[in-house]
Amino acid sequence: MTVAAIYDQLRAALRKQIRQHNLTGQDVSVRCKALSAQEAIGSPERDDYPIIKGKEVMVEAVFKQAKGHAFTDEFENANYRVEELLEIELDNNRRRASFISGLNAVFRHLDLCPKTVHCKDDEPKQCAENLLNTIDAGRKVLLIGCQPRFTEVLAAHYKVRVVDLDPDNIGRVISGALIEPPENTGDACAWCDLILATGSSVINGTIADFLHQDKPVIFYGVTIAAPAHILHLKTYCHCSH
């Protein structure tokens, strides 16, 4: 499935819900804004998360009183009517973040998916530690996206490779795990027997690289909440709200 086909499927699913629940024309809106690091992740004991380092932001969309989050490296502060989400040109990360966060908010309002709001404070660490209850011992794990607590836990208990898009991370070693560049993704996918991929891949378009693998793929994080429901993807997001 191509990235364009994925976005078409997400649009079609949103269109179906808008029609089914008579949301068109209502005096409601999806308001998208970027949260501060404090609003998005609270005060974790470590400050090496991408959102704290200023590498990414959390976009929050609010539909009625339901919230949907999406991680991105580009954002807009925008206000969309719910049906206008269907018309957004999904040709860059900024507009994709608005669409995905809005999709998450609408699906949360309709009780179609939980866990659309990011965890805070000590919860990211708890989420990482719970991976030990989720991934069987002895697995060779490929982590897509350098989530620092995930990297530490995986490196301590599994054979792990980590691929990241951030040039400042590439070449670093975290708990013995070397952070590799995106051009190593194909080789790393062939090496592993489980892929743990960031849900932000639905924003940057790399999600298509992982949908046709001949091995298990788990997408992590709040960004992928509604898309995973629509696309029937396996997810991990232990402490989100």
Domain 123-236 has CATH 3.40.50.11590: yes
**129 dihedral zone (left: phi>0; alpha: psi -120 to 50; beta):** alpha
CA dihedral of residues 160, 151, 183, 220 (deg, nearest 10): 100
pLDDT of residue 66: 94
pLDDT of residue 52: 44
Residues of the chain with pLDDT under 70: 26-28, 37, 40-55
Q: Hey, where are the domains in the chain?
A: 3-109, 123-236
> Cα(150)–Cα(30) distance, rounded to whole angstroms?
32
pTM of the model as a whole: 0.91
pLDDT of residue 35: 74
> Cα(162)–Cα(165) distance, rounded to whole angstroms?
10
